[in-house]
Chain A
Amino acid sequence: MSKKAPAGERVVKEEIENDPILGYAALPGIADEMMDANGQIRPVWRNLIAHLSRLSEAELQERFARADRYLRDAGVFYRTYQSQGSGGSGERAWPISHVPVLIDAREWETVSRGLMQRADLLEAMVADIYGDNRLVEEGILPPQLVAANPEFLRPLAGIKPVGGHYLHFCSFEIGRGPDGNWWVLSDRTQAPSGAGFALENRVATTRAFSDIYAESHVHRLASFFVAFRDALQAQKQSPDDRIAVLSPGPANETYFEHAYIARYLGFMLLEGEDLTVVNNRVMVRTVAGLKPIGVLWRRLDAAYADPLELDQNSRIGTPGMVQALRSGALTVVNALGSGILETRAFLAFAPTIARRLLGEDLMMPSIATWWCGQKEEREHVAKNIERMVIGPAYTGLPFFDDNGQSVLGSSLRETAKETIGEWLADEGAKLVGQEVVTLSTTPAWVDGKLVPRPMSLRVYAARTEKGWQIMPGGFARIGSGDDVSAIAMQTGGTAADVWIVSDKPVARPTLLTPEENFTRNMPGSLPSRAADNLYWLGRYIERAEGSLRILRAWHLRYAESADPNAPLLADMTRYLKTIDIDMAKAVPLTLLRNIDSAIYSASNIRDRFSPDGWLALNDLSKTARRFHDAVKAGDDAAHAMTVLLRKLAGFAGLVHENMYRFTGWRFLSIGRHLERSMHMTRLLGHMCGPDAPDGALDMMLEIGDSVMTHRRRYNVNTARLTVADLLALDHLNPRSILFQLNEIRAEVELLPNAFVNGQMSPFYREAMRLHSGLAVMTPDGMNEEVYARLESELEKLSDLLGQTYIG
């Protein structure tokens, strides 16, 4: 530190020392991201720290709350497998650590160069492993590490990727050692996750620090995604090809991210069953027929991709996918089989392989690793056991994240240490030793003050048309305690945004292309499974509403008479039984199940669904569950139903006001209208019969929300004919059957393949026929028999929709 330090710098330091909230001291002998070895704040941090020190605890908490609120409102979550069994949704909020990690752009240059070289190395390795196997033949890579490797997928051997590259998207976990240099802790090549979380982390953090972010020269993340999106576009063989993100489905821990990335980049989000292979081409089933897939960004492990040639137990794969790859019309990101590069034992050979395949030394070393299948290496590990982590050789998981499969040599009992040599000699081929590394620390906000916490970085590399590009940022995993040994990063950590700070203003790209050459892209073809889920979402939502309306009418009457055996109530109880609703509970279980089914359908199409709608639906479910436990029959229940109806209307309104009117909307809408028409038809058939109890017609009007209209339109008392006129045949009444059929007909006309060779499709014809048939009816013709026939015809219409579009 020069004696002529700028005045500002000294002020900042004093403030920090004087500020009890910001009393921060790096741990002895450990590198710290914010403080240099002399206890000075690094230049890139000064602006942020100066700001922080001016904020009161309350202001700071208010800012953090902003970030949390953003994540909650955006619905950012990841799924935890453990919590699934214990009830609850198994979704956990993203654990943000609010203080970002700041890194100087010049240092990041060096990190980026090191990781680009590493990505090249991995590409060359995987090409050799699935190609000529020179590394094995020349004695550089031991043969068993390939042949006994569960990630060596034999059906892929010899298949060259269509674009020439195996790897397109990788991530690296890197950490900084005590000497200040970076180390690679692990490589992710199978289906690297987290890039979407990095984006959301960035947005959330800038909510908390919008002012500071705006005036700091922080590199933006968007250009990285633009470049990768463009690169994937360029991989397509023909303009008609689709690009899709292939997800294992909503049960996957990072499903949110799959949906997020697909939506962000404008790709389809698909699951294995959306795909089929026809004449060696992978096709997506859409409501407009089969469409070719050109690029699949897979988020599922390769072994599950094809139950015919890979893991035969996979239920989430696409039979024939490997065959399609053999004939070369599809790019998979990353190529099936690339997961082998994650093998922990490979780290031991990376330096030699780099020299052999690239003719270079590694710019960024990986964590020192010894494969115990070799004698000298094994002996080295045994001799230095105190400084080693011992773990499985073939695992793809890094030692700090492998569910406790790795053990710290120093934690072994003395007796175990004595026999370590024998153990390694017996089992060595399956084990690696890795040097225990310590990580750097970075400030985290804990209990009202900044404290140093260990961190490692997750960094992403994407292959673009100009070669590898490194995401300027990523996210930092922050340890929960102050144990800086990397193995302590296993559980309970948080994630912080990473700011790459330049001393000059940075470019501010967005995902959008410049205004002058915009085109209006119509949404791509709707996958059949998504159509199915939208249709059933519509039906379940409407089913819930229909039940709620009947239940409210029932409880209002029960509140007056307190007699469940009064003829009208008893009759309705019987009716409700026929639709599976048991009146033993004021808020029946069937209702909760309908709402859950709606949520389940919605959860399968998160990429097409606004976060607001999702939150509204979950709120509805939570409220219904609470009522189910607490609410009593009568007034209390009637009120509860009103609350639920209002929440349901809120959801419907969000969807109605915000959803783009395209194919997806039509399926949702057809689902709602069809369910409502079925509900009305069934109910009218029951309540307008000659032996319906007294008050049934009034109740019918109430359920159909048409009491006032009826009073206004007919100068007679409620009668069978006027009710049929208003609730069945009035095309202006949004609750009438004819209204529903009118809407269905209009939507169906706009669906793909409504006309085949200029002729109406069977489905369109049937929708048309039902509509015209009802439109010419008169109220006196509407009897129980007509309602019963219509009900079964509506069921058939639903089946026909399934056959035509869902398959």
Chain B
Amino acid sequence: MLYDLTLHMGYVYDVPASGARHLIRVLPLSLPDRQRLIAGAITVSPNADEKVSFIDFFGQQATSVFVKAPHERLDIRMQARVVVEAPTIKADLSPELAGLKAELAGLLSVDPASPHHLAGTSPRLPEEPLIAAWAREVVKPGQTAHEIARAICTRIHKDFKYDPEATTVDTTPREAFKLKRGVCQDFSHIMIVALRSLGIPAGYVSGFLRTIPPPGKERLEGADAMHAWVRVWCGDAMGHVELDPTNDIPAGTDHIVVAYGRDYSDIAPVVGVMKGYGNQKALQAVDVIPLKQ
């Protein structure tokens, strides 16, 4: 599947901001056998005084831009063309929880792909007894790690209501869990906390969803902005599996990966620090247009 992507993120300030430094992570990744970035570019307006790109710990290209002069709005635009391969269906080769734990303990690596990074707590995701207790109820004896992940994904989709008004980017998993409402970020965070509490390494994926559904199919939730889903480590043999709790599906050709991290804070699309006061308004528009099957 070939896609043309455009992303526009705008920030409008009540009082002009100055000395603004932003770190941007929005370009799709190139992943062997999965997706390939054919071309991509980020532009910023007003023109950046400094622009530096580097590859971050988890392998994503990050772009740091600095706009010195006072400005009333900042616009970040990304355009990219990406090929996404149809995923191969993986057989469930994952062990049960005890087996998974042993496999993890035997994995002597902390390189960026190591599931050890996804096993502990992370800046936005402390342990959460409420969610841990809920997760234990979902699990049935004898289930494999992959079955457990699917079960939790399904339960979130079933029990939680998609509601962009209910939460913000700063909502904690605990708050969203109590509300039983939220968006892709909240659902992904809750699922990660639940899986980690059971000993299953899980991380956060940011990316895009195709905006126009294939003929005869419904539009997926979360397609009008950047999307998020969950990456689960299912043991040595099966490796990582990506599940989308917002839509209760495995990530497939409709999902375009931008970045992998432990939680939102590792790979937030834009982190900014500027001098200024007063309020700001943020807007975001996404188009993911399929060019051909």
Which residues of A are interface residues toward B (Cβ below 8 A)?
133, 136-139, 143-144, 146-148, 150, 154-155, 157, 276-280, 307-309, 311-312, 319-320, 323, 326
Taking the complex as formed, is B79 at the interface, i.e. its CB lies under 8 A from any CB of chain A?
no
**Which of B5-13, B118-126, B174-182, B284-292 is the contact stretch?**
B118-126
Closest to A147 in B: B116
Q: Which of B110-151 contact A (CB under 8 A)?
A: 110-111, 114, 116-117, 119-121, 123
19 A-B residue pairs with CB within 8 Å: A133-B109, A136-B108, A136-B109, A137-B109, A143-B116, A144-B116, A144-B119, A144-B120, A147-B110, A147-B116, A148-B116, A148-B121, A154-B57, A154-B58, A155-B57, A277-B66, A308-B23, A308-B64, A312-B271
On whether the beta carbons of A312 and B265 are closer than 8 Å, the reply is yes
Q: For residue B66, which residues in chain A have a CB less than 8 angstroms away from its CB?
A: 277, 320
With known contacts A143-B114, A276-B19, A148–B120 Cβ distance under 8 A: yes
Q: When the two chains form their complex, are residues A147 and B119 in contact, meaning their CB atoms are under 8 A apart?
A: yes
- Residues of B whose CB lies within 8 Å of any CB of A are 19, 21, 23, 50, 52, 54, 56-58, 64, 66, 107-111, 114, 116-117, 119-121, 123, 265-266, 268, 271, 273
Provide the bound-state CA to CA distance between A136 and B105, in Å.
12
A796, B258: Cα distance in complex, Å:
50
Do A147 and B50 contact each other (CB < 8 Å), given the known contacts A136-B109, A319-B273?
no
CA distance A113 to B107 in the complex (A): 37
Query: Roughly how many angstroms separate A312 CA and B54 CA in the complex, as a whole number?
Result: 19
Nearest CB of B to A278, in Å: 8
Say yes or no: B123 contacts A311, CB within 8 Å. yes
Q: Which residue of the partner chain, among B23, B50, B54, B123, contacts A279 with CB atoms under 8 Å?
A: B50
What is the CA–CA distance of A307 and B108 in the complex, to the nearest angstrom?
Answer: 31
A280 CA / B51 CA spacing, docked (Å): 10
How close is A649's CB to chain B, nearest CB, in angstroms?
A: 38
The 10 closest A-B pairs by CB, nearest first: A148-B120, A147-B116, A154-B57, A319-B273, A319-B21, A143-B116, A147-B117, A146-B110, A147-B110, A308-B23
When the two chains form their complex, are residues B54 and A277 in contact, meaning their CB atoms are under 8 A apart?
A: no
Contact A323 B120 (CB under 8 A): no
> Which A residues are in CB contact (< 8 Å) with B21?
277, 308, 319-320
Cα–Cα distance between A137 and B111 once the two chains are bound (Å)? 10
Inter-chain CA distance A624–B121, complex, in Å, is: 51
A136-B110 contact, Cβ under 8 Å, with A279-B50, A280-B52: yes
B108 with A143: CB separation less than 8 A: yes
Give chain B residues whose Cβ lies under 8 Å from the Cβ of A323: 52, 54, 64
Closest residue of chain A to B123 (Cβ to Cβ) is: A311
A residues in contact with B57, CB < 8 Å: 154-155, 157
Are A133 and B110 interface neighbours, CB within 8 A?
Answer: yes
- Does the CB pair A155–B110 fall under 8 Å? no
- Once the chains bind, are B111 and A133 in contact (CB under 8 Å)? yes
For residue A159, give the distance in angstroms from its CB to the closest CB of chain B.
10
Using known A-B contacts A133-B110, A323-B64, determine if residue A307 contacts B273 with beta carbons closer than 8 Å: yes
Residues from chain A with a CB closer than 8 A to the CB of B117 are: 147
Contacting residues, chain A, for B58 (C-beta < 8 A): 154
Which residues of chain A are near B109, meaning CB under 8 Å?
Answer: 133, 136-137, 143
A143 touches B107 (CB 8 A): yes
Most interface-central of B50, B265, B268 (chain A CB within 10 A): B50
Q: Which residue of A lies closest to B20 (CB)?
A: A319
Docked-complex contact B114 and A137, CB < 8 angstroms: no
CB distance from A734 to the nearest CB of B (A): 39
The residue in B110, B116, B273 that gathers the most chain A C-beta atoms within 10 A of its C-beta is: B110
- Cα-based distance from A307 to B265 in the complex (angstroms): 11
| Chain B residues with CB under 8 A of A277 | 21, 66
State whether A137 and B273 are in contact (beta carbons under 8 Å apart), knowing that A276-B19, A280-B52, A320-B64 are contacts in the complex: no
Q: Closest residue of chain A to B68, judged by CB?
A: A278
Q: Knowing A146-B110, A147-B110, A276-B19 touch, does A308 contact B119 (C-beta < 8 A)? A: no
Contacts of B268 in A (CB 8 A): 312
Q: How far is the CB of A660 from chain B (nearest CB, A)?
A: 32
A608 to B72, CA, bound (A): 38
- Please name the residue on chain B nearest to A140 by beta carbon: B108
A318 to B, closest residue via Cβ = B273
Q: How many angstroms from the CA of A642 to the CA of B69 in the assembled complex?
A: 50
Q: For residue A320, which residue of chain B has the nearest CB?
A: B21
Which residues on A sit within 8 Å (CB–CB) of B64?
A: 308, 320, 323
CA distance A144 to B114 in the complex (A): 10
A147 near B273: Cβ-Cβ < 8 Å: no
On whether A148 and B50 interact (CB within 8 A), knowing A136-B108, A277-B21, A319-B21, the answer reads no
- CB nearest to A276 among chain B residues: B19
**Distance A157 CA – B117 CA, assembled complex (angstroms):** 13
Contacts of A326 in B (CB 8 A): 54
How far apart sit A326 and B21, CA to CA, in the bound complex (Å)? Answer: 16
Residue of B nearest to A146 (CB): B110
Q: Least Cβ distance of A707 to chain B in Å?
A: 47
Residues of B within 8 A of A308 (CB): 21, 23, 64, 271, 273
Residues of A within 8 A of B50 (CB): 278-279
Residues of A within 8 A of B266 (CB): 154
A144 to B116, CA, bound (A): 6
Chain B minimum-CB-distance residue to A309: B23
Q: Which residues of A contact B116 (CB under 8 A)?
A: 143-144, 146-148
Q: B56: which A residues are within 8 A, CB to CB?
A: 154-155
Residue of B nearest to A156 (CB): B57
Find chain B residues with CB under 8 A from A278 CB: 50
Contacts of B110 in A (CB 8 A): 133, 136, 143, 146-147
Most buried by B among A136, A143, A150: A143
CA distance A146 to B117 in the complex (A): 9
Please measure, in the bound complex, the distance between the C-alpha atom of A326 and the C-alpha atom of B62, giving whole angstroms.
Answer: 13
Instruction: Give chain A nearest CB distance to B75 CB in angstroms.
Output: 19
Enumerate chain A residues within 8 angstroms of B120, measured Cβ to Cβ: 144, 147-148
A311 to B50, CA, bound (A): 22
Chain B residues, Cβ within 8 Å of A148: 116, 119-121
